[in-house]
Amino acid sequence: MVKTRKIESSIRVLDKSLEVFSLFTLLISVTLAVFSVILRYLFDISFQVVEEICRYSIIYGVFAYIGPLIKKDEHLKMDLIQNFLRGKIKHYNDLLISIILFASFIFICWSSINWSISLLNMNLMTDSGIVLMFIPALAIPLGMFFSCIYSFLKIIQDYDKIRLYKSEV
């Protein structure tokens, strides 16, 4: 458990910064959406780039906060099975889920890096024609990178729980 506490204390700054970043992107999205609605309905003006910034800022926020949700154990998992398991088997199931999650994030991270690089090489633009498609697509590899870190830490925590459970029995 000492390792787990050291890891949690060292990653607290990253937790806070990702949370602040996610809240900031949400604030940007909401503010620009209200601004866009006012422009559209009061002045009959619409800017495609403002709508894109709204859309992509919320995507950045969501992908940035995946990692801290994993740490809080709020990721998608099958609670129905978890409710029936008891004791050591429940801890092994948690470890298995964490390993599958980590492997999935590594695969998605690698695939999204390749996809983002291909978008950059093609010089593909967003609908507004102002922003390279690479910039909004970069949210996926960044989010998956942080998710890999957090899911790896979750594996360590789950392993520690199993190890401590064995020594308690």
83 vs 139: CA distance, rounded Å: 34
CA–CA dist 51, 66 (Å, integer): 24
Token digits of residue 113 = 């890096």
Total domain count, the chain: 1
Tokens 């899911």 belong to residue: 151
- Domain of 41 in residue numbering reads as 2-168
Question: According to the model, what pLDDT value does residue 46 have?
Answer: 82
Closest CA to 140 of 69, 63, 53, 67: 63
- Provide block-wise average pLDDT over 10 residues at a time, the chain (169 residues): 68 86 93 90 85 88 86 64 70 85 93 92 83 87 91 87 66
Sign of CA dihedral 134, 147, 52, 21: negative
Q: Take residue 107 and report the two structure tokens written for it.
A: 């695969």
pTM equals 0.76
- Helical spans, DSSP H, in 44-138: 48-64, 66-71, 79-84, 87-122, 134-137
